[in-house]
Amino acid sequence: MMDATTTTPLDLPALIETYLARCVIEGKSPRTVRAYRETLGRFVRCLQEDGAPLDPDAVRPDHVIAYLVRYAQHSPDTRHRYFREVRCFCTWLRAAGYTENDPFRGLRNVGLPQKIVPPFTPAEIQTLLARCNEGTSVGSRDQALLLTLLDTGVRCAEAVALDLDDCDFATRRLHVRHGKGDKARVVPFAARCADALSTYLLDRGTEPGPLFLSARYGRLHPGVRLGVNGLKIRLRTLGREAGIPKVHAHRFRHTFATWAIAHDARELDVQHLLGHSSPDMVRRYSATYRSAQAAERHHAFSPGDQMLAGIPDLRS
């Protein structure tokens, strides 16, 4: 089926370009568009290698299955994304009137296990901060970074995108201008974070530009923004030096959320502060907190202990 205004049949590569242009127009981030391009390009290459048609009317479920089978050994997250992104494209093809064909009919995506990300403990946060050498400019930057991640829950990319002008010490607010989906928001920070940022600025200076600077040969590199990969590497390094596994920005974000929920913050407030468009992710944080709370309370109602209270140890 072709749109009435279309005179030349379009194959999948041409339609992919139209789809990606539509994603740009709708405000999808360059990173998201790039990921879509890679996934859809991979799908087309698989079809070509299998000798399958590139006509949207002729792609069948068995072609999609052959594509998915190639990645059956990948992680569930990767497989879920490869399925989801191609299915979204095919759904758009039908909605836009390019075809009535549904090559995903009868197919279900792989289920994703719900992972429990343990929040940092106070002792772990103190250990990480202690690994930052306060006597150096890089150390003061690292302390400011850790406390900013912890106290605001900003994403990795959001943290490194901050400029000095985004930091308002009078109101203790950070203006996140480049959130996910290019959505801006304002997040507060408290006294300890403010102190760490103020100390860092004594080394950084007050020149406009990136808030968190890259480091070179153990010194801050003036005017050069710390990148996402640079932040990830630095967090892993601090974690390794502190003997704490899985130190990454999302775990700080998770810690922020679970700590807020534990101290009676409303889910709606947490959703806004974290920049989520729906409450679904916040409910996952809540579930993690409730699971941890249930485990802590188990000792008070343990059937094994309560039902056998006063009975000698079975091993005796």
pLDDT given for residue 271 in this prediction: 79
The C-alpha atoms of residue 284 and residue 112 are separated, in whole angstroms, by 13
- Residue 291 belongs to what H/E stretch? helix 280-301
pLDDT digits (tens, 9 = 90+) for 6-15: 445 689 999 9
Residues of the chain where predicted confidence (pLDDT) is lower than 70 = 1-9, 116, 281-302, 304-316
pLDDT given for residue 135 in this prediction: 83
Q: What is the DSSP letter of 166?
A: G
Q: 241 near 124, Cβ under 8 Å?
A: no
Q: What is the DSSP letter of 32?
A: H
pLDDT given for residue 236 in this prediction: 96
pLDDT given for residue 4 in this prediction: 44
Alpha helices, DSSP H, located in the chain: 12-25, 30-49, 61-69, 76-95, 122-130, 137-152, 156-161, 191-204, 228-242, 249-262, 267-274, 280-301, 303-307
pLDDT digits (tens, 9 = 90+) for 230-253: 999 999 999 999 999 999 999 999
Quote the radius of gyration of the chain (alpha carbons, Å). Answer: 25
Q: Dig out the tokens for 165 from the structure.
A: 């002008």
pLDDT digits (tens, 9 = 90+) for 211-225: 999 998 889 999 999
The C-alpha atoms of residue 15 and residue 101 are separated, in whole angstroms, by 14
Q: What is the pTM of this model?
A: 0.70
Question: Which of 201, 239, 194 lies closest to 222, judged by CA?
Answer: 201
